[in-house]
Structure 1
Amino acid sequence: MDKMLIADDNRQITKILGEFAKKEGFEPVMAYDGEEALEKFREDSFSILLLDVMMPKKDGFQVCREIRQTSSVPIIMVTARGEDFERIMGLDIGADDYIVKPFSGGEVMARVRAVLRRIGPAERLSERKILTYDNLSVCLDDGCVTVGEREISLTKKELEILWTLLENKGKIFSRDHLLDSLWGYDYVGDNRTVDSHMKRLRSKLDVQPHPAWQIKTVWGMGYKFEENHG
């Protein structure tokens, strides 16, 4: 049975979400502060995480950042604070979605299903599971990306963006196209999310020289994987 980590210091909320998770076929695992959430995450394997922002010891943003250093597991941030800058920050640090209290358990599970739907089709972007170009190698199965001899740790979404661009070398993808195809039509964010992910992807790839290729911004149009000839 797939497991869902539910991290919130409000035990009434974790109990309610746990019951809804069971109805969706998940085994819920509870954590009541940020450190416990990280401990539970490291001890087990989860299909998706629900992280409250305002938790004791470590907040949800800190937990998300630490998890994103090693894992691309889907994460939905849950908070009572709905300021736009917080929602954007949560998405920028690698969360897949963001939901504001008060909410219904059914609404949260609908968001869970939407996130998992968006991830599913990306696994089938191509029958070929490994793409290479010059010193770049991308394996879709295990998420392994190397530039030269150096392994690059990418989040799930960064991997999907890189795979899409590399598989279609020279083709320009608009922000809206990437948002629709990789995040899904029901995604509630805007195309600034694409820019944020692209910025992080480039910074990770640029730790190793790659003079034969680049992820290029085509101003007013979008992004493409460009081969640098000569």
Structure 2
Amino acid sequence: MNRLNETILLVDDEEDIVSFIRDALELDGYQVLTAASGQEALSLCKLEPSLIILDVMMPDMNGFEVCRVLRETMTCPIVFLSASQSEVDRIRGLAAGGDDYLLKPFSMAELKARVHAHLRREQRIRTQKEQGILRFPPLTVDCLGRTVTCRGQEIVLTNKEFMILELLAMHQGQVFTREQIYEKLWGYDAEGDDATITEHVKKIRSKLAAVSEERTYIQTVWGIGYKWEVKS
């Protein structure tokens, strides 16, 4: 991975932490943008960073609020930093659209390892998107042909089922609430409710399990929603 092409947006109002993290990431070859407030972060996101490191506690908008706004237009990984060890806050971070949650104080080695892992995954998915093919052996998702196959056998999905599977698969590891999935696929003004997402997911899982019993792809994140994660 060419880190010179990777830009990280670091959002934190503590100058010492910002300086420490920025210097460490720049030494690793990343370009680093910094913001001391939520509003400044939203403005800098026009530059399309590859990854965002986002503090939870800030003076104007908290990190959860910033994340929710960003997720309306951005899909890049978002890593929360927080001094709170509350499980509720970790759940709030995931529900807002975060990909990771790192507790303060943290080791720089761990932060850099997580940043690298998220960017490596994003680069792999980006390459697959350009080809129109997502591969999760033995499963293959053809986004252009709108087909899903497992060991050469096609899994027949309805249009909405394919759209849900594609959305989750294209954002591997990112948690989506049922409300977010419904709004993205049906639109804000659609009549109905997000309970239909649960039924669609059940049907997708059943069809996947019929041909790929050794792997589960759509994971339930209890109290929040779903994410795509490949587990043996």
Q: Give the Cα separation in 2 of the matches to 1:53 and 1:127.
A: 33
Q: 1:137 maps to which residue?
A: none
Q: 1:107 to 1:217 in 2, by over 3 A?
A: same
Unpaired runs of 5+ residues, structure 2, are 135-140, 149-154, 191-196, 209-232
Partners of 1:74 and 1:26 in 2: CA distance: 15
- Aligned twin of 2:10: 6
TM-score of the aligned structures, taking structure 1 as reference length: 0.63
Q: For 1:170, give the aligned amino acid.
A: V
The corresponding residue for 2:77 is 74
CA distance in 1 between counterparts of 2:61 and 2:207 reads 36
Instruction: Provide closer, same or farther for how the CA distance between residues 96 and 39 of structure 1 changes in structure 2, counting only shifts above 3 A.
Output: same
> Residue type matched to 2:101 in 1?
Y
What residue number does 1:182 align with?
172
Closer, same or farther: CA 30–163 of 1 in aligned 2, 3 Å: same
CA contact (8 A) 2:26 2:32 kept: yes
CA-CA distance at 1:83 after TM superposition: 1.1
Q: 1:199 to 1:103 in 2, by over 3 A?
A: same
Question: 1:223 and 1:199 mapped to 2: Cα distance?
Answer: 23
Aligned to 2:200: 216
Q: What is the letter of the counterpart of residue 181 of structure 2?
A: L
Answering whether residue 87 of structure 2 is matched by residue 84 of structure 1, we say: yes
Contact 1:38 1:63 in 2 (8 A): yes
What is the correspondence of 1:49-64 to structure 2 with a 5 Å cutoff?
49-64=52-67
Q: 1:4 to 1:127 in 2, by over 3 A?
A: closer
Which position in structure 1 is the counterpart of 2:37?
33
Deviation at 1:79, TM superposition (A): 0.7
Aligned to 1:170: 156
Structure-2 residue corresponding to 1:201 = 181
Structure 1 runs not aligned, ≥5 long: 131-139, 141-160, 184-192, 225-230
What secondary structure, in the 3-state scheme, does the structure 2 residue paired with 1:16 have?
helix
1:223 Cα deviation (Å)? 7.3
* Cα distance between partner residues in 1 of 2:31 and 2:70: 20
How far apart are the structure 1 equivalents of 2:63 and 2:207? Answer: 31
In 2: Cα distance, 1:21 partner to 1:223 partner: 43
Q: Distance in 1 between matches of 2:90 and 2:114?
A: 15
State how far apart, in whole Å, the 1-side matches of 2:90 and 2:34 are: 23
Q: Give me the whole-angstrom Cα distance separating, in 2, the residues matched to 1:111 and 1:124.
A: 20
State the shift of 1:128 in Å. 4.6
Q: Percent identity, aligned pairs only?
A: 31
Work out whether residues 132 and 142 of structure 2, in 8 Å CA contact, stay in contact via their aligned partners in 1.
no
Q: For residue 200 of structure 2, what is the amino acid of its counterpart? A: K
Cα distance in 2 for partners of 1:47, 1:7 equals 14
> May I ask how many residue pairs the two structures share in their alignment?
176
Normalising by structure 2, report the TM-score.
Answer: 0.63
Deviations 1:39-83 (A, max 9, x none): 2223x2311110100011111111111111111122111111121
Contact 2:132 2:143 (8 Å CA) reproduced: no
Higher-helix-fraction structure: 2
